[in-house]
Chains A and B, each alone.
Chain A
Amino acid sequence: MVKKRLYLELENCIGCRSCLAACTQCGGHEQRNRNYVYDVNPLVNRQTMPLMCLHCVNPACARSCPAQAIQIHETGAVLSALVEKCIGCQNCTIACPYGIPKFDTEQNLMYKCDLCIDRTKDGIPPMCASVCPSNTLQWLTDEEIEAKQKQFNLDNGKWVTSMPYLEGETNVRVNLPGILQGVTKLF
């Protein structure tokens, strides 16, 4: 099985929040969505961007967990808290630099994106990337991602669109807004 990753191209987001709707439909997600879509400039324009768990290689959420409730799957996916281990301390929600883990106060339990592990462990794309109408979220091989980043690689002092990682190394790859700045027009 060729390894594939979640890849984000933020420029494409149209704010439909289909990824959030689809998140509730993954069998293991108890109908709760686990990611975010933000209005970038709410009173100005309609730019939006998804904020998905980036599945860090050395995840702060897991490191901060005193109960080892956050496991890392062999695919690299950083899983949601184990129900039997999570003590509800919310360290992870503070530790995550992207603010990803959500907290269920009723169940005293953290929950987060597990990259639809039931799907991705078999190479099936996660629900968000499956449905994303604008190709903001894609499920790609490393080769495909490399080709994308070559195509959009741009650091002209004004735009930086492709960076290896936003902060620490992540399994999810991101292209920031501005990719079109590097495209050569056909005519």
Chain B
Amino acid sequence: MQEVNVKGPRDKFFKEIENVRHPNETLVKTHCSYCGMQCGMNLRVNTKTNKIIGVEPRYDWPVTVGKMCPKGVTAYQQTNHPDRILKPLIRDDASLKGTQQGFREASWDEAYDLIAKKFIELQEQYGKDTLSVFSGVSMTNEKCYLTGKFARVALGTRYIDYNGRFCMSSAAGGFLRSFGVDRGSTLPWTDIHETDCLFIAGSNTAECHPTSMFRVWNVQERGGYIIVADPRETPIARRADVHLDLRPGTDLALANGIVNLLIQNGYVDEVFVSSHTNGFEETKELVKEFTPEYTSQITGVAPEKIIRAAEIYGMAPNAVVMFARGIEQQHKGVDNVSGYTNMALVTGKIGRPKSGVATFTGQGNGQGGREHGQKSDLLPGYRKITNPKHVQEVCQVWGITPEEMPQPGVSAYEMFELMEQKTIRGLYLLCSNPAVSAPNQNFVRKALKGLDFMVCSDFYLSESAEFADVILPSVTWSEDEGTVTNIEGRIIKINKAQEPLGESKPDWQIQAELAEYLGRGKYFSHLKTARDVADEFRLASKGGYADYYGATWDKIEKQDGVFWPCRDENDPGTPHMFLDKKFYHPDGKAKICALPYRPPAEEPDVEYPLRLTTGRVVYHYLSGNQTRRIQFLRDMCPEPYVEVHPETAAKYMIEHEEYVRLYTRRGEAEYKVKITEAIRKDTVFVPYHFGHDKSINLLTIAALDPISRMPEFKACAAQIEKLDRTEVQ
């Protein structure tokens, strides 16, 4: 009984099931390496070879109860993959940059020596800020935390940013503006199936967060409703009660249109709005214009669908508004987030169980990784680098003076602009593959190629590593331990199942050792284990609003994770946000935002009449550097394709499976055509997981959101040229 209480309630999907135990095998409890769902899994380890050999479901993980998508099932195959980089690699001939050629194996000592020499030379000649750090959030909080410290303390540069700018930064910006706090979900995932209405915008949930689906479908099985806003009839949209098939990049108009109907039709929670929010009147005034007809003109969605969607959401006793990159990867991504969040705020469907707002976190640690100082303007605990008090608090933990703390830098894409302008001449890249994932690839690849010196830390030779002078072999998630903050804001524990392969090392160790070579060893030399980093990190977050201080590894183990904020030893954490109806703005109120509509940065015209949008497939993760190497996943989706509606295809006289040239003002690529009625006639879709000349980001636009600096991956203008062939050339 005691055990059950400590771990919180189990829902109806939880079943006590024993795992299969094969002879000479041990099971290591951990979570998946990929998306924000962080599905529980057991890694099967051979006790004779001490190597990971397979996967076994983790039925006892309350969020996913053993379920895994095909990426999760095959994730273990990354660890002992033949493509692993096993020793540091150095390339002496810089003319080979941008290719896989010219690398030779080296010792760690030689690699560190070379990096320190080059970094110090560059900084002596061009100043501290000539170096940059580009990081990612598919790694533990401990690594994310230390990367921020490494940039500021070991390198002393202002230029650090991370791939969350291409992922979660708009959600962060929108939540901060609406709630004053950025926790991706205001409620635990075990609430999702108990709500009465899910309003899901810009999320291909079935492919990008598949293990949410048994909860999503259960809403309908109980008689509840699913409303989906998406330009494509995704697997979830196919079964939705209402599918709002909007034009890419018009979400804000749809959100305003629905908020207008909620207000006009009496679904406003007057008491909640007057006691706990600001901005209602102003918003009411602004959205008046967004009648169903006007909203329909902008979005292309039939007025009766908009009316029905608003009616369902308004009537639902409990409802959750959910969204993902579809609305966030726009140059008004932050406005879209606040716009849809307005639905929950005007109706008061927030701050109670089974109702709230959630974003589907894209990367494994998209939540935790953005809170602890990898962002150009943030310090651990979601502190601001521009706030002297915050700087003072962090300096105390780090043992530096506030004068030594660098200024805020610039966002991810803007760092490439500074590289191109030679303001930045050196780069330390880890846990990311911007030579696939950044927009406007022709520009980004040129910027990477032009660097004086680049270090890349990765466990495979990624497309971005092809631009490096030195590659440092890092470990996969299964060869290190630490915490990750999942889609719910629940801090969970990743466990080590195998010793690092070859000479590979975890990034926190690489940074601590490299700091020594850079003459900054005294700030890092005490960090001998991942737990050492964890202890310092919890302390550094203490007092910030993303406070992890009370989330000890023991507590995470005992409670099946800890929801932040968790301020001290006795604090069990915070599964539901705002239950006291207190928001994080100074006056304790949430903000209902009046948001004027603006169209996408690039609208279709005569020359480029189609709307291009991008996204994921279920078989691949992010830039595909990991999943494209896994046989099963590669078999299922070996190459990208362009989805075209049959009527559009007829116009261009193109057929299923023929190759076409797709082009925009920025670039071009050739894709196999996939004909489907499950997409708008004015829109084409290409998945973004592929590199080199197959990368759709050769075509995408780098129009940035003014607040989140998120590029507009989801909408630009494109054209198709028929090639008359069915083979790749």
Contacts and interface: CB of A to CB of B under 8 A. Distances in A.
Interface of A: 11-12, 14-18, 20-22, 24-25, 27, 42-48, 118-119, 122, 124-125, 127, 130-135, 151, 179-180, 183-187
B678 A18 contact: no
A119 to B, nearest CB: 6
Contacts of B57: 127, 130-131
Contact of A21 (B20, B73, B206, B676): B73
Contacts of B72: 18, 131
A175 to B, nearest CB: 11
Nearest to B56: A25
Contacts of B678: 44-46
A138 B69 CA distance: 15
Nearest to A14: B206
Given A130-B66, A183-B220, A16 B618 contact: yes
Nearest to B675: A43
A150 B217 CA distance: 18
Nearest to B65: A130
Contact of B73 (A11, A43, A122, A131): A131
Contacts of B315: 187
A130 to B, nearest CB: 4
A131 B676 contact: no
Nearest to B66: A130
Given A14-B213, A43-B677, A46-B238, A124 B20 contact: yes
Contacts of B67: 130-133
B222 interface: yes
A180 B233 contact: no
Contact of B677 (A17, A44, A134): A44
B170 interface: no
Interface string B616-627: 001100000000
Given A119-B20, A187-B316, A180 B238 contact: no
A88 B485 CA distance: 52
B92 to A, nearest CB: 41
Contact of A22 (B18, B73, B221): B73
Contacts of A131: 57, 66-69, 72-73
Nearest to B220: A180
B317 A187 contact: yes
The 8 closest A-B pairs by CB, nearest first: A14-B206, A133-B210, A21-B70, A21-B73, A186-B223, A135-B214, A134-B213, A130-B57
Interface string B43-77: 00000000000111101000000111110111000
Nearest to B676: A43
Contact of A45 (B74, B233, B656): B233
Contacts of A124: 17-20
B239 A180 contact: yes
Given A17-B70, A134-B213, 7 more contacts: A14-B235, A17-B618, A46-B238, A130-B67, A135-B217, A186-B223, A186-B317
B207 A16 contact: yes
B238 A45 contact: yes
A85 to B, nearest CB: 26
Contact of A16 (B70, B74, B196, B218): B70
A183 B677 CA distance: 27
Interface of B: 17-20, 22, 54-57, 59, 66-70, 72-74, 196, 206-207, 210-214, 217-218, 220-225, 233-236, 238-239, 315-317, 618-619, 632, 636, 646, 656, 675-678
30 contacts: A12-B217, A14-B206, A16-B69, A16-B70, A16-B618, A17-B619, A17-B636, A18-B69, A21-B73, A21-B74, A27-B22, A45-B233, A45-B238, A46-B238, A47-B235, A47-B238, A122-B20, A124-B18, A124-B20, A131-B68, A131-B73, A132-B67, A132-B214, A135-B213, A179-B221, A183-B220, A183-B222, A185-B225, A187-B315, A187-B317
B217 A134 contact: yes
B220 to A, nearest CB: 6
Nearest to B25: A27
Contacts of B68: 18, 22, 131, 133
B548 to A, nearest CB: 29
Contact of B210 (A14, A24, A46, A127): A14
Contacts of A184: 223
A116 to B, nearest CB: 9
Given A16-B70, A18-B73, A43 B656 contact: yes
Nearest to B54: A25
Contacts of B66: 125, 130-131
A187 B676 contact: no
A20 B70 contact: yes
Contacts of B207: 14, 16
Contact of B618 (A15, A27, A119, A183): A15
A18 B72 CA distance: 9
A9 to B, nearest CB: 9
Q: Which of A18, A42, A45, A185 has the most CB of B within 10 A?
A: A18
B20 A118 contact: yes
A130 B678 CA distance: 30
A183 B219 CA distance: 11
B206 A134 contact: yes
Contact of A18 (B70, B220, B239): B70
